[in-house]
Structure 1
Amino acid sequence: MSEKRLISELDSNKLRENALTSIRLGAEDFERSRRAPADGGDPARALSAVRNLFAGVLLLFKYKIATCVDNPADAAALIFMPPEVWPHGDGEGGIEWLPVGKFKSTTIDVGTIQKRFQAFGIEVDWKVIAKLQECRNHLEHLHPATTLGEVADFVAELFPVLRDFIQTQLGEVPAQILAHTWQIMLLHHNFFVDTTQQCKDAWTGVGVPEGMIPWLDESRCEACSSSLLSPAQLSIDANYLVDRDEGKFEYTCVACGHTGLIAPLMIDALNEAHDYDPRDGEEPSVEVCMQCDRATYVIYEQICLWCAAQLDYTECAICEERLRQDDQDNGGLCSYHAHTYEKAMRD
């Protein structure tokens, strides 16, 4: 396809139409994925819901970019993937940077959209977009039945991004341009926000270690990956406490009804966030606490997030190096200086 044809075929209104269609299909897929099979529900629609919703938002972003200029040729240059720019000798001992090849038939990706937005002063919460993109990529590799809760989280987090973008950047009313689609997303978002707060309030006073509260928020249901977890009523009735009865205290998933132990979920969330690859020379930042024997001791903070145990000696008295748990028997010295001191004493 020639560059001239690419330019002539760009229709910003078509971008808008395709964006709204993708968002509508995504919302309908999401609604159907949550219905019971007897009512025409299909869990497999969960993945297509995420695909369509994310694609629709990106198309809406591209539409905004295309409308920043008046000339269709300029709009095409902004929307289609540009040729690479390579250095060339200028014949006088210097270099000049020139495009190599022509515009591609594919449109710009997320990274290039972000650059275009920066160039035109278009604001959007890119941290949320990156999180949604990661979620979309993650869901591509999972079975739909195990991701319904994560999809629900995805839709709830997408809602404010879409709402704000339509209002502030397009200058339109979301309910008008999205119609019934907007009502589907609005109802779900409101339910999600309200239920999230109810779940958070329910964990107050049941013995969640203070340092683990952020990781309670990051915990996900083992069955459906939802973040809507509340303390199981049976555990509350039995007067269990999370910090005292970690092998008994259970959660109940509001999204799917699954129950399971909450402590392992919190500990796993902490350790997944601090995952490392020793092949890249990385070192662990979380280890097993020598006081409570749980994998909740954060090395760089020198504290256990579960039992709040701290070190007697935090830095070497000689070199001021940060000390670890296994340095505590050295009387305030790092392993090197403790060894040096012992050697000197023997000599």
Structure 2
Amino acid sequence: MSGKGVPTLDRAKVLENAVTSIQLGIEDYQLTQGDDGNPLRAVSSARNLFAGVLLLFKYKIAMLADSPEHAASLIYKARKFKPYLDQNGVIEWRPELERNKTIDVADIELHFEGLGIRTDWAAVNTLQRCRNDLEHLHPKHPLEEINKFLLDLFPLLRDFITYELSENPAALLGETWEVMLRNHQFFAQNLEEVQHQWEDLGVMAHTRELFKTCSCPACGSPLLEPNREDLQAGVPFDYSEFRYNCLACNQSDSFIELMEEELRTTRENPFDDEEIITDCGSCGAPMFDLSEGHCHLCGYAYQPPKCSGCHTPLEGYEAENGSLCDRCSEYAHYDDEYEPHIS
């Protein structure tokens, strides 16, 4: 506290707490590993790691303050504003801070926007959802969830510590950084390897990108490789028959059925009760997206017939009735009816 009970903030302590939270999160993560590991520690790991990220964000904001009082005004939530008279008799409006309540994720994002601080908010939101899922939904396979958590966390921390804090991640986090690096590299290398395997089979780039969003229905892992039995048997890659295999739990099932399910559950349907995913008119796979007008497997894009008069795309019923849109058809009918005939 400083003069007249004004709250202050020790930003060095904020950084210390951030590092401690991240270190505790990684210690919890290590306790989940091995045959005798406790998967329930995954919840504590995610909680501590996410708290550490938010503390680093708050530390960055506090770095921009010119005094401990100013730092407190940026980090603590303002309950209300009160007028004060300064030494010159000028009225100032000052926030009355809630000393036990700091800014939340939404507040931090607004602070960052106003102060020109950058981070990967898409990754932050993913981490928050993962933390929430582990805490509230109690997934059957928390280790896979925490592995995905760390996969997103590593590059976020690396970039933020390096570019926003101007620190060396290894120096700041010590051995904790080495543990994170090993896990991230292992997971990322396996993910890259399975993508190369699908590429070698001739799966198109946009299909591989979609497949990255798929996860094993049995354990939730995204490490899905081409089925080795199919490869060894020389089975040609066929969308209706070829299978994937999960590296984490060895589950095996249809590649195309998994992709189809991913599309049906992730694509918004603007057509109410109509099917949005249907069979492709080119490759036959059930992966043609009516909302986007193309197949997510072979890339076939449907080009609707155009009006021979104004060249606008015809609606389905218009194409069935001829080559003109309703408007041009009306004009043609009008011309036929009222055009003067020479006798």
How high is the TM-score relative to the length of structure 1? Answer: 0.78
Matching residue of 2:59 = 63
Q: Work out which of the residue numbers 258, 263, 272 in structure 1 matches 2:256.
A: 263
CA distance in 1, matches of 2:312, 2:80: 48
Matching residue of 1:103 = 97
Q: Work out which of the residue numbers 199, 202, 211 in structure 2 matches 1:204.
A: 199
Matching residue of 2:84 = none
- The Cα of 1:31 is off from its aligned counterpart by 2.2
Equivalent pair of 1:250/1:259 in contact (CA under 8 Å): yes
Letter in 2 for 1:274: R
> For the pair shown, which has the larger CA radius of gyration, 1 or 2?
2
CA distance in 1, matches of 2:276, 2:182: 40
Matching residue of 1:112 = 107
Distance 1:156 1:305, change over 3 A: closer
Equivalent pair of 1:286/1:295 in contact (CA under 8 Å): no
CA distance in 2, matches of 1:221, 1:338: 52
Q: Work out which of the residue numbers 52, 57, 68 in structure 1 matches 2:48.
A: 52
Matching residue of 1:23 = 22
Q: Does 1:273 align with 2:263?
A: no
Distance 1:310 1:68, change over 3 A: closer
Q: Does 1:287 align with 2:286?
A: no
Distance 1:197 1:69, change over 3 A: same
- SS of the equivalent of 2:220 reads coil
Equivalent pair of 2:158/2:169 in contact (CA under 8 Å): yes
Q: Does 1:122 align with 2:117?
A: yes
After TM superposition, list the pairs within 5 Å mapping 1:1-347 onto structure 2. 7-8=7-8, 10-36=9-35, 39=36, 41-83=37-79, 102-104=96-98, 105-208=100-203, 211-242=206-237, 244-246=238-240, 248-276=241-269, 286-289=276-279, 291=281, 294-311=285-302, 313-317=304-308, 322=313, 329-332=320-323
Letter in 1 for 2:38: D
Distance 1:128 1:285, change over 3 A: farther
- The Cα of 1:11 is off from its aligned counterpart by 2.6
- SS of the equivalent of 2:78 reads coil
Distance 1:125 1:30, change over 3 A: same
Equivalent pair of 1:285/1:300 in contact (CA under 8 Å): no
- The Cα of 1:115 is off from its aligned counterpart by 1.9
Matching residue of 1:94 = none
How high is the TM-score relative to the length of structure 2? Answer: 0.79
Letter in 2 for 1:268: E
Matching residue of 1:93 = none
- The Cα of 1:340 is off from its aligned counterpart by 7.5
CA distance in 2, matches of 1:250, 1:178: 42
- The Cα of 1:172 is off from its aligned counterpart by 2.0
- The Cα of 1:276 is off from its aligned counterpart by 4.1
CA distance in 1, matches of 2:248, 2:27: 19
> Which protein has greater RCO, CA pairs closer than 8 Å, 6+ apart?
1
Could you list the per-position Cα deviations for residues 247-280 of structure 1 after superposition, in whole angstroms to 9, with x for gaps in the alignment?
A: x4222222333323222222222233313487xx
The sequence identity of aligned pairs, in percent, is 37
Letter in 2 for 1:22: S
Equivalent pair of 1:147/1:225 in contact (CA under 8 Å): no
Distance 1:323 1:214, change over 3 A: farther
CA distance in 1, matches of 2:284, 2:231: 25
- The Cα of 1:318 is off from its aligned counterpart by 5.7
Letter in 2 for 1:296: M
**What value does the CA root-mean-square deviation take over the aligned residues?**
3.5
Equivalent pair of 2:239/2:255 in contact (CA under 8 Å): no
CA distance in 2, matches of 1:125, 1:261: 34
